[in-house]
Every structure is written in structure tokens, then in C-alpha cells.
Amino acid sequence: MTLGGSIWLPHLIKLIRDVFRRPEIRIIAHQIPQIGYTSFGPIINEAIAFSVRHRDIVISSIKIRLKHESGEEKILSWQGITQRLGQLTAPEGGSIAWDKELSALAIKITEKEVEEKFIRFQEEAYYTKREQYDSEIAKKLSYLSEKGKYDADEFLESEEMTRLYSFIKQWFNWKQGKYTLTFEIDSPEKFRLKDNLYKFTLNPLNIEQLESNKDLIQLSYEDLLKSSIEGYKPHNINWNWVNPKLEKSPNA
């Protein structure tokens, strides 16, 4: 072996060792996700368990790439995380779930235990395009408040709120048919990802149930803007959710 070869050999061995010791993340997704559509746009709520081999790793982002059989794609990113810590026994009997709300900034996965999280995924593009409507509404509210002219009923029927209602309704993009769901993970470290490809199907009844939520959008804002008014009785809105079966894709 030449001198140059002997110098590079330890570096080469380290590179090979790093590749084989690279963290391997496995995703275990709950078979029954919550698919929704509210004033927050399209939503997927999903319980996910993470396991990792070789060494601990920090996840900085989790996204869902959703592709309809028509070829249409959308990206939903994590907006909130809940961790189930256990069950508490209530004084009157029965049990109460003990959950902890986590920040959707980063989570650490360790080799010692499987991490289970309940994650809310929402569409990034929806919030990007909605900003202009929220900005117009904030300006109008500020102006009316300064002038002492704010009236909740009139504001709910204002041009600014009407445009927001229309935008939310036009953003309904769930379709009947088959979807491919791919979990995409980011981390400061290099890693391998396994079991991240799934599929589900929405039928005509699912679409009808979700689309009926359009009728609740304006009522939800009425509850929001009038909740502090004495004597106001909220509508206690119950959004419709659907629960298709999530199946692991054979290509995962």
C-alpha cells in the first residue's frame, strides 16, 4: 500500500462506517386518520409512532405529500403535536387521557423507546394565500375600533369577511378517489427513512360530508366575533370528519 493510500484509508473506513451507522427512522402510522376541512382549510390529523436504529436523532420537520390519482399534489405540514403521556383515573371512575401539547419545531427520537405523537397537518399554500385576507380584516377591525364604529353583526357581513368566506370555500380541494400519502422528514443529520408510503380512498359520501362544512364557516366566525357579547348563545359547531382506512403501500 502506498503512503497516500494509507493516509486515506482511515477516512474511507469512517465514511463507510457513517453510512452503515446512519440513523434509520421507521414510521408507524395509525390505520384510521382524521381527514377534515374547516375554516383552517384541509386538515389531516394522524397518530404516528417513530422508531430509530443506530443512534438518536432530531426531526426538524414532518410533511405529508398527498397525490390524488388524477395527478394533483398538495403539501401539508405539521402545525401542532400532542404527545400521549398516559391515563389518569377520574375520582368518579373511568379514565382521562393525559396529553401534552408540543411545539411544532423539533422532536427528538431515541433508540430507547418508540415515540408516539398525534400530529395535525395543514396545507401550507392555504395559509400563504390567506394572509392577504387576514391582513385586510385586521386593518378594517383596527379602523372601526379606533372610530368607535365596530358592530359585530355588520362586520360579519362586510366586504372583507365576505371575501374571506369565499376564499375558504373555494379552497375545498378534497376529491373522490385514491390518494397516495408520503411522509417526508427533515433533520440536520443524514438518515434513512422506512415505511413512509401509504394510501387511502375517499368515496362520494366522504366528499359530501366534508363539503357540508362549508355551511358552517360563517357560523364559526360569528361565534368567534360575538363570544364576548353578553347573552350571545354560540352555535357549538361540530365539524364533519371522515376516517378512511390508511394502508401501507407495497412500495414503501
- pLDDT digits over 65-77, tens only? 999 999 999 999 9
Which triple of cell numbers denotes residue 144?
Answer: 372601526
Which residues touch 199 (CB under 8 Å, ≥6 apart)? 178, 179, 180, 181, 246, 247, 249
- What mean pLDDT do residues 128-136 have? 94
Element (H, E) at 210: helix 204-211
Indicate whether this model's pTM tops 0.85. no
Calpha distance 40→75 (Å, rounded): 15
Write down the pLDDT at residue 144: 93
DSSP helix/strand/coil, 191: coil
Helix residue ranges, H only, 98-180: 124-147, 152-156, 159-170
Residue ranges of the domains in the chain?
A: 22-248
Write down the pLDDT at residue 112: 80
Q: What is the band of 11 on the pLDDT scale with cuts at 50, 70, 90? A: low
Of 18-22, 50-54, 85-89, 196-200, highest mean pLDDT: 196-200
- pLDDT digits over 162-192, tens only? 999 999 999 999 999 999 999 999 999 898 9
- Asked if residue 117 has pLDDT above 90, the reply is no
